[in-house]
């Protein structure tokens, strides 16, 4: 009986992560097509999700939160610190989540902090030297 319950939890968790990913993609599309107010509203919802379920979010869900909060940083740079915390939590939840290791380096580059970007990418490449997105950011 316990195995059945555990088996049922895994698809629900995957569906939750997929749902957040779809929500993030929708918000990014709004942002990139100039509907910034709508996008900001969507991105703000990720903060609510984090505040409600922060301790129960998977690494991929935390990554979605971090990316959403990074977008909020375009309107208020204070959000960048919060995004970095979410990236750190995503890495803590799954140290093998390479995207969560590379995204902070991209943020550092966007904010003209090449030294920190270089250290962050070096750490990611030390974990997986063949991870293409990390190699692209390094270049």
Tell me the C-alpha distance between 15 and 2, whole Å: 20
**pTM of the entire structure?**
0.82
pLDDT digits (tens, 9 = 90+) for 11-66: 444 445 578 899 999 999 999 999 999 999 999 999 999 999 867 899 999 999 99
Cβ atoms of 86 and 65 within 8 Å: the answer is yes
**DSSP state string for 45-87:** HHHHHHHHHGGG--HHHHHHHHHHHHHHTTT-THHHHHHHHHH
pLDDT digits (tens, 9 = 90+) for 83-110: 999 999 999 999 999 999 999 999 999 8
């Amino acid at each position: 009986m316990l195995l059945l319950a555990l088996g049922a939890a895994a698809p629900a968790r995957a569906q939750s992560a997929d749902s957040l990913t779809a929500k993030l993609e929708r918000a990014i599309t709004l942002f990139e097509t100039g509907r910034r107010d709508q996008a900001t509203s969507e991105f703000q919802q990720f903060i609510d999700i984090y505040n409600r379920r922060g301790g129960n979010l998977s690494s991929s869900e935390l990554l979605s939160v971090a990316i959403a909060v990074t977008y909020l940083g375009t309107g208020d740079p204070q959000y960048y610190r919060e995004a970095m915390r979410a990236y750190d939590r995503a890495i803590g939840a799954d140290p093998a989540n390479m995207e969560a290791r590379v995204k902070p380096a991209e943020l550092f580059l966007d904010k003209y902090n090449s030294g920190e970007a270089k250290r962050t990418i070096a750490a990611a490449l030390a974990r997986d030297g063949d991870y293409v997105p990390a190699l692209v950011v390094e270049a």
